Structure 1
């Protein structure tokens, strides 16, 4: 169950006279490490596959409630100066790495709680490993992001896809808002849409299944305008944008609207 929903459940049960509701809440909340939420596993059919293709199965996992902030990343650099703006290996970062920071440790304090951007995949991966975590896989991120505020599969709600598409169609903000300003989704996760793009562990595997014997059937025209042909949901333009964006990235890229959050296996914590 979801941490934020369990608290509401405990309160509701207490009002109904169920005296041990707080114990139920405390027991289930302990399943997720601090700052993370449990995302229950499920399955979905990848956007870019045909309707006859195998569905994607995802196990339970933990995901950070919020994207990593500038303040979080500064703490990481304090402990790992090799990933600072001036010292990060050039083979792992491009020239725009942390370009919004004035120096290795200094940046405008008004963006303390805004998501850190201009970080490469290598730097994001190093951060997550330093926390005993990892970057989420594409399948995990997509499953978690499929949720609306009220249910795990928000795609069945009227207007859900249009709302996400409107978020992605807005121009990027010069100064990003602080994380957690909107309502969390069903899993208790904030800012899965509408604030930044996010790195995933296997970001460049958008058009492969992971099973080489099956990859030969993938239509490579999906990179182009003809990509909707044969797709599971040709109307899900926001999802096409995400896959197209991931496919255009290189691991050393650092972009002003690209950040990340961390994930963890259930047995890892």
Structure 2
């Protein structure tokens, strides 16, 4: 007797996708950022997010398959000179970049190219914030002072220590790990997080960097960890790379 199983529902994660990605249901979400055109919250469509950040081993495989992203070949407009500077060579990791550590010293352009190479994309800021609001049991733990203090304790640790491997932290309520306390992470729309009205003047070379929907401000000033992330990301250019900035990929629901 052959048991016929029903097909998975549309958009369900199967096989390796289910191991690498966690599915998030989406919904109306009140961001810590106050959007002028979204007073009652922003809508987050269902999406899938990598359970852990991209590692050195995973990014090395991408570089080997796409040599234009090697540090000795990448165009300067896409990555600054420090890009992957912690690797022993353009194609070898070495003692300062262990395989299971999250990849850092990677530019937005390189992170975006990696995600596109696997049929994915970088998450938006709202998607990242939505996932990062959860703790191990609750989808939104942001009102819990103990949870906020734990996050701030993670961020207060010295940044000169070697990075732990990805995936050590307990999964949150969605099954996503390492959203806090490991590395900062690129988002697709990182450059639209802060708006200065003075930068909307005609002829301003930077005016295309900013969100046309309106100015942003902090709606939840107690969520200092989010404020730090916004300040960090909005200070960067796409070619920049730092010692504590990595990324993970997302996929829209099918």
- TM-score of the pair, normalised by structure 2: 0.83
Q: Is the 8 A contact 2:63 2:69 kept in 1?
A: yes
Q: Is the 8 A contact 2:142 2:223 kept in 1?
A: no
SS in 1 for 2:60: helix
Pick one of 138, 141, 146 that aligns with 1:154. Answer: 141
State the partner residue of 1:72. 58
Q: Is the 8 A contact 1:138 1:200 kept in 2?
A: yes
Pick one of 43, 48, 59 that aligns with 2:28. Answer: 43
Pick one of 122, 145, 159 that aligns with 2:132. Answer: 145
Q: Unpaired segments of 5 or more residues in structure 2?
A: 196-209
Is the alpha carbon distance of 1:164 and 1:65 closer, same or farther for their aligned partners in structure 2, counting shifts above 3 Å? same
State the partner residue of 1:228. none
Q: Is the 8 A contact 1:48 1:207 kept in 2?
A: no
Distance in 2 between the 1:239 and 1:48 partners? 9
Distance in 2 between the 1:49 and 1:175 partners? 35
Distance in 2 between the 1:43 and 1:211 partners? 20
C-alpha deviation, 1:165, in angstroms: 1.2
Distance in 2 between the 1:157 and 1:174 partners? 29
Give the helix-richer structure, 1 or 2: 1
1:124 aligns with 2:111: yes
Q: Unpaired segments of 5 or more residues in structure 1?
A: 1-22, 223-230
Distance in 2 between the 1:93 and 1:49 partners? 32
State the partner residue of 1:194. 181
CA RMSD of aligned residues (A): 2.5
Which shifted more, 239-248 or 119-128?
Answer: 239-248
Distance in 1 between the 2:123 and 2:55 partners? 17
Distance in 1 between the 2:188 and 2:173 partners? 23
Q: Is the 8 A contact 1:111 1:176 kept in 2?
A: no
